[in-house]
Amino acid sequence: MKNKEIQSGDYKKLNTSFTKLLINKCKDTFESMFDRKRIVANEWKEIESCKNKETKHKLQLKSDKNETVHKQLSVAICRFICELLKVNILVPSILEMCSVRLIGSPKELSVECVCVIPQHAGSTVNHSGVLEKLQEYSTAQNVKFSPGLWSMILGTLELINPESTCDEPRLTDETKVVTSFIEASIKRIKLPSSDLSVAQKKRVSGE
């Protein structure tokens, strides 16, 4: 009986230690997301100072690979902390703090990670602050996101609050993205002002 009690006590200590280790590892990985800018600056400083073309190319490839791994790890850690919430290792307030920190930056990766949390954590987490910021981003004219991320933002808004996502329907918002590309293309092939005025005069005179 005494041996069983000792074994049980050891198991609890081991389980507690593992949980702490897991939480600390998640915390460190999450924090590392915000150090990437400094790391990239150092990587590019090394690349720019390199005189050997072959070595410089290798450094660029390494930096690109590091960026890809960083993006994958960032999304993965946000999904993982949602799983820890489901098994009661983390509490909703932790994920709420993570979301608030992420949504403060209008960077594509940060916003993508914010969208991941509601999709995997569900309604157990209070998304009100995130909802307001995503709605702000969805209507801002000076925020540049890829079409894929726009779709992800709109989908997340519908998931968080299906009754009041955006002022306009989803299709209209997605069409705006396509329209912006079309308008940009038109500007690139736009006639010079002199040619345009001649064309207008001909049209008016019926030539």
pLDDT greater at residue 74 or residue 17 = 74
**Quick check: pTM over 0.75?**
no
Angle at 133 between CA 132 and CA 135, to 5 degrees: 65
Supply the DSSP symbol for 95: H
The helix or strand, by DSSP H or E, that contains position 50, with its residue range, turns out to be: none
Contact status, residue 156 vs residue 115, Cβ threshold 8 Å:
yes
Examine the pLDDT at 12 and tell me if it is beyond 70.
Answer: no
Determine the Cα–Cα distance for residues 81 and 89; give it in Å rounded to an integer: 9
pLDDT greater at residue 13 or residue 37 = 37
Handedness of CA 63, 77, 122, 94 (dihedral sign): negative
Boundaries of every domain in the chain: 2-167
Categorize the per-residue pLDDT at 74 as very low, low, confident or very high, splitting at 50, 70 and 90. Answer: very high
| Alpha carbon distances (Å) from 106 to 81, 111, 164 | 22, 7, 22
pLDDT greater at residue 172 or residue 131 = 131
Per-residue model confidence (pLDDT) at position 156: 86
